[in-house]
Amino acid sequence: MNFADSEIVNSILIEDGMTATESAETADVILVNTCSIRENAETKVWNRLKEIRSLKKTNNDLTVGVLGCMAERIKDRIIEEEQLVDIVVGPDAYRDIPRLLAEVDDGRKAVNVLLSLEETYADIAPVRTTGNGVSSFVSIMRGCDNMCSFCVVPFTRGRERSRPMESILKEIQQLSDEGYKEVTLLGQNVNSYKDGENTFTALMDAASLINPEIRFRFSSPHPKDFPDDLLHLIAERPNLCNYIHIPAQAGSDSMLERMRRPYTREQYLDLITKMKRIIPGLSLSTDIIAGFCGETEEEHQQTMSLMKEVEYDLAYMFAYSERERTLAYRKFEDDVPEEVKKRRLTEIINQQMEIQKQRNVKEIGNRHLVLVEGTSKRSDEQMSGRSDTNKIVIFDRMDFEKGDYVEVEVTDSTSATLKAKPIRKTTLVEYYGMAVEA
């Protein structure tokens, strides 16, 4: 989400006549886009700001801004205590950046952290300078009304609002014209998307018809209202990836209740069973929190057993990090000792690595359609891409290029990647043997 937001800010700045520099040392303005989701995300930002402080010592004219989720919470500290930051801009106020920058020309400070009920930046075409030119994010909604008890997002990003479908489709058409091959639709809670009559399924349907050679993913849905019609659409549309990120957070009813996740373990597992039934070969990933308030050993074991039962292909696993303003902060105690949290997180991660290793070994001999994202980090002689099921696949470079679709056969695997033998360059339509009728 922050990558997508930075691209919106990029566009606003370019529109205002600015250009990007090659390095921080030569910049007149440095903006740091921040995340508040966990303590260590904020720690990273503080460290970055310390680095920038040394630049400010050698360049008196340097203007520094903090953007995004940390803005509201720490605006006083940032400006007064740190004496480092000149502007502070919340996630709904990016259009105001040029005005704020003009205001601080004479050494004053400027702040806009107002949240909005409407802002979706629908009319701003993001300028994509950081991506790989092959895959891209498109933001479809902002904010979140779910109020999970551990989560600060509803407070930092405000109320849920959807971007008009037409502007989303226009952006995807533009990406298509620019040669992009993969689009991930983004929102804090994508299946709450509503634009008048259009549901998230209607949006996916319309998006996937724009160009049958563009693959679509989305992140993240909520298990509480995952629509059946979307599962059927994914099953029948070749360019909707057979991959769903579906955050569970925990595996016991008691913990889910404390987390204010409105589903039971059984309902979640029923949803997973249905997903696997409707979409053969489906790949799944999840988010898990270890050591949330009051977590017992039994509850931890239930999280472990849920993960074992589902057999996720990928998981994002976190130790609980208390966030001010959340319900958990106000009502519960962050009472699982740090070393217990760490131990449980390690157990969860180790088990997940083992599951991934086993699942990936079973891939040996399978064929996949891989979209090439670039050369492998390890070797120029190898290409790296992802399968429809979101697995990272490495194979010999030959004369393949970024943005090619390549059919491969898996020859080896680890818990994180698949190694493969390239068979042929192809297209999505050719590979799946059917065109999508618009």
CB of 220 to ligand SF4, least distance (A): 7
Q: Provide the terminal-to-terminal Cα distance of the chain, rounded to the nearest Å.
A: 30
Q: Which does 318 bind (CB under 5 to 8 A by kind): ligand 5AD, ligand SF4, none?
A: ligand 5AD
The residue (of 180 and 320) whose beta carbon lies closer to ligand 5AD is 320
- Binding ligand 5AD by CB under 6 A: which of 73, 181, 217, 323? 323
User: Footprint of ligand SF4 on this chain (CB under 6 A)?
Assistant: 144, 146-148, 151, 153-154, 188-189, 222
The CB-of-105 to ligand 5AD minimum distance in angstroms stands at: 38
Which of 6, 321, 356, 413 touches ligand 5AD by CB under 6 A? 321
- Gap between the Cα atoms of 426 and 411, Å rounded: 20
User: Which of residues 65, 187, 247, 385 is near ligand 5AD by CB under 6 A?
Assistant: 247
38 binds, among ligand SF4, ligand 5AD, none (CB under 5 to 8 A by kind): ligand 5AD
| Residues between 96 and 135 with contacts to ligand 5AD, criterion CB under 6 A | none
Minimum distance between the CB of residue 320 and ligand SF4, rounded to whole angstroms?
12
Residue 395 region by backbone torsions, left for phi larger than 0, else alpha for psi between -120 and 50, else beta: beta
Report, in Å, the least distance between residue 290 CB and ligand 5AD. Answer: 9
Q: Does 38 bind ligand 5AD (CB under 6 A)?
A: yes
Q: Which among ligand SF4, ligand 5AD, none contacts residue 265 (Cβ within 5 to 8 A by kind)?
A: none
Q: What's the closest the beta carbon of residue 149 comes to ligand 5AD, in angstroms? A: 9
We find the least distance from the C-beta atom of residue 39 to ligand 5AD, in angstroms, to be: 8
Q: Interface with ligand 5AD includes 67 (CB under 6 A)? A: no
Residue numbers 372-391 binding ligand 5AD by CB under 6 A: none
Torsions phi, psi for 242 (to 5 deg): -85, 60
Q: Which residues contact 424 (CB under 8 A, 6 or more apart)?
A: 406, 407
Binding mask 273-312 for ligand 5AD (x = CB under 6 A): --------------x-x-----------------------
Region of 61-69, 135-143, 178-186, 313-321 interacting with ligand 5AD (CB under 6 A) = 313-321
Q: Secondary structure of the chain in the HEC alphabet?
A: CHHHHHHHHHHHHHHCCCCCCCCHHHCCEEEEEECCCCHHHHHHHHHHHHHHHHHHHHCCCCEEEEEECHHHHHHHHHHHHCCCCCEEECCCCHHHHHHHHHHHHHCCCEEECCCCCCCCCCCCCCCCCCCCCCEEEEECEECCCCCCCCCCHHHHHCCCEECCHHHHHHHHHHHHHCCCCEEEEECCCHHHCEECCEEHHHHHHHHHHHCCCCEEEEECCCHHHCCHHHHHHHHHCCCECCEEECCCECCCHHHHHHCCCCCCHHHHHHHHHHHHHHCCCCEEEEEEEECCCCCCHHHHHHHHHHHHHHCCCEEEEEECCCCCCCHHHHHCCCCCCHHHHHHHHHHHHHHHHHHHHHHHHCCCCCEEEEEEEEECCCCCCEEEEEECCCCEEEEECCCCCCCCEEEEEEEEECCCEEEEEEEEEECHHHHHCCCCCC
Q: Which residue has the tokens 């120029």?
A: 380
* From ligand 5AD, ligand SF4, none, interface partner of 222 (C-beta below 5 to 8 A by class): ligand SF4
Q: Which of 121, 137, 150, 268 binds ligand 5AD (CB under 6 A)?
A: 150
Query: Residue 146 or residue 301: which is nearer to ligand 5AD going by CB?
Result: 146
Q: How far is CA 238 from CA 8, 29, 152, in A?
A: 30, 44, 36
Contact call for residue 219 and ligand 5AD (CB under 6 A): no
Among 320, 395, 400, 405, binds ligand 5AD (CB under 6 A): 320
In angstroms, give the least distance from the CB of 222 to ligand SF4. 5
Q: Which of residues 156-215 bind ligand 5AD (CB under 6 A)?
A: none
What CA–CA distance (Å, rounded) separates 245 from 218? 8
* Shortest Cβ 398–ligand 5AD spacing (Å): 38
Residue type, 85: V
254 binds, among ligand SF4, ligand 5AD, none (CB under 5 to 8 A by kind): none
Stretch that binds ligand 5AD, among 258-266, 315-323, 374-382, 388-396 (CB under 6 A): 315-323
Given ligand 5AD, ligand SF4, none, residue 136, with its beta carbon under 5 to 8 Å by kind, binds none
List contacts with ligand 5AD (CB under 6 A).
Answer: 37-38, 150-151, 247, 249, 287, 289, 318, 320-321, 323
